[in-house]
Structure formats: C-alpha cells, structure tokens
Amino acid sequence: MKIEIDQLKCVGAGQCVMAAEDVFDQRDEDGIVVLLEAEPDDSHAPDVRTAAALCPAAAITVHE
C-alpha cells in the first residue's frame, strides 16, 4: 500500500489522525496533514482506507 497526500487540499480536520495515528499527523501551526509513513505495512491498511474515506477534503489517495 502506498499513500499520497495533497497538502493543498487538506483542511486540517484531523479525521485521518483519529483513524490511523501511526500513519498520519498534523502540522502544529495549521493542522495540515503530515504523512508519517508513506508505505505502511498491511496491518495499517484498514485504518488507512478509513482515513482516506473520512477525509472531508478527499486529500488522501491510497494505491493498493
């Protein structure tokens, strides 16, 4: 699994961090998404998919 994020689309909702906190974080200053792990192992896959689905800005793309 490979993850792409679009920081320009991100609105800093933090839904991704709540869904998969080992993979996503937010910048301190504005809450924009930060990718901790671009190619997480399979154990994170369900949470990452949920994060991508919940993102209100559609800023997360998951390549399986």
Partner 1 sequence: MSPQDVVVVGAGAAGLGTVEALRREGCTARVTIIGDENDLPYDRPPLSKGYLSGAWDEARLQLRPRETLAELGATWKLGHSAVSLDREAREVRLEDGSTVHYDALVIATGVRSRRLPGTEGISGLHTMRTRADADRLREEMRSGARLLVGGGGFLGSETAASARTLGCEVTLISRRPAPLGDVLGDEVAGMLAALHRERGVDLEQGSVDAVTTADGHVTGVRLADGRELPGDMALLAIGSIPNVEWLRDSGLTLDDGVVCDASGLAAPGVWAVGDVAAWHDPGAERPVRLEHRTRASEHGISVARSILGAGGPLPSVPYVWSDQYEYTVQIHGSPRGADRFAIIDGSLEERGFTAVYGRDDRVCAAVGVNMVRPLRALRRLVAQRAPWEAVAAAQPQL
- Please, what is the minimum distance in Å from the beta carbon of residue 64 to partner 1? 10
Token readout for 45 is 């896959």
Which residues of the shown chain bind partner 1 in the complex (CB under 8 A)? Answer: 8-9, 11-15, 17-18, 26, 28, 30-31, 49-50, 53-58, 61
- Please, what is the minimum distance in Å from the beta carbon of residue 18 to partner 1? 7
Residue 30, judged by CB atoms within 10 A of its CB (0-12, 13-18, 19+), counts as exposed
Phi and psi at residue 50, in whole multiples of 5°? Answer: -65, -40
- Please, what is the minimum distance in Å from the beta carbon of residue 40 to partner 1? 16
